[in-house]
Amino acid sequence: MTLIDGKALATKMQNNLADKVQQMKDDYGIVPGLAVILVGDNPASQVYVRNKERSALKAGFKSETKRVPSSISEEDLIALIEDYNQDDTIHGILVQLPLPEHINDKKVIMAIDPHKDVDGFHPINTGHLWSGRPIMVPCTPAGIMEMLAAYNIGLEGKHAVIIGRSNIVGKPMAQLLLAKNATVTLTHSRTRNLADVAKSADVLIVAIGQGHFVTKDFVKEGAVVIDVGMNRDTDGKLIGDVAFDEVKELASYITPVPGGVGPMTITMLLEQTYQAALRSLEHV
Ligand code: GUN
């Protein structure tokens, strides 16, 4: 079994990105700028946002984090996004999800300029991805593709099974794997005989949000297992969706939690912000 070290790969890519950002400053005098909007005080979101800010600054980006109370109206939130849409020093805008109940997240995502939608959630970017022209791609699946490539894991003709059909992970993941000529099965909570379907996977991607849901009964010997889960066990310890200790005995490659997919998500966010800044040079 080979452990896929997402943290090491993320560090390497972020160091590389820091060099590219410096080069951009030297050559064009611009600094890629990322604005993150955090609504309310969800503890998990606060941690994610702090990590994003720290990594952005370390790589030499301009990083602006706007923390607003959960009582903010949808209208005021959209007005804030529109200000960032107009701001030439900001190339990427991310609204941390989930949003409070009274705010329609689809409407909020639609307000983001698609050129600055570094999460790849705007329907324009979803459409580009599904029509085979990825521009801004959701960061978690993009990070998983980078990990598979870095470990030379071929996908052509392989059976990839995804557990979880979210807009953030499962659906875009399916499209990215398909683009690499994998045969893709997208499963979800209503899938019958889920363990049997998962057991036919050469590559198993798990994003279901339930701690240790995937046991050895879901995994074929030699499968590649990617764990997107971030759950807390009863002791407050961070655990994945995969029962790592038993599954690692079967897998050929496996990602740990923490230190697997998580650090790659932030890396792709920065990479896409850098790419958006690069593209903005074409418009001036
Ligand atoms: N909440 C959990 N994951 C994500 C993500 O990738 N982007 C945003 N904006 N919010 C999230």
Mind listing the pLDDT tens digit for each residue in 221-265? 999 999 999 999 999 999 999 999 999 999 999 999 999 999 999
Superfamily of domain 139-262: NAD(P)-binding Rossmann-like Domain (3.40.50.720)
Q: How far is Cα 61 from Cα 126, in angstroms, rounded to an integer?
A: 26
* Single-letter amino acid, residue 82: E
Residue nearest to atom 2 of ligand 1 (CA): 97
The whole-number average pLDDT for the span 91-100 is 98
Question: Does domain 29-114 fall into CATH 3.30.360.10?
Answer: no
- In this prediction, residue 284 carries a pLDDT of 57
Chain mean pLDDT for the chain:
97
| pLDDT more than 70, % of the chain | 99
Q: Per-domain residue ranges for the chain?
A: 29-114, 139-262
The whole-number average pLDDT for the span 146-166 is 98
The whole-number average pLDDT for the span 39-56 is 95
Measure 224 CA to ligand 1 centroid, in angstroms.
24
In this chain, the answer to whether the domains covering 29-114 and 139-262 adopt an identical fold is yes
- Quick one: pLDDT band at residue 282, thresholds 50, 70, 90? confident
Measure 26 CA to ligand 1 centroid, in angstroms.
32
Whether the predicted model's global pTM rises above the 0.95 cut: yes
Structure tokens at 171: 């659906």
Measure 168 CA to ligand 1 centroid, in angstroms.
7
Q: Which of 95, 97, 137 to mutate to test the pocket of ligand 1 (most atoms within 8 A of CB)?
A: 97
- Quick one: pLDDT band at residue 86, thresholds 50, 70, 90? very high
Annotated binding site for NADP(+): 164-166
* Single-letter amino acid, residue 102: H
Q: How far is Cα 78 from Cα 84, in angstroms, rounded to an integer?
A: 10
pLDDT in tens, 190-232: 999 999 999 999 999 999 999 999 999 999 999 999 999 999 9
Ligand 1 site residues (CB inside 6 A) read 94-97, 119, 139-140, 168
Q: How far is Cα 8 from Cα 15, in angstroms, rounded to an integer?
A: 11
Active site residues: 52, 96, 119
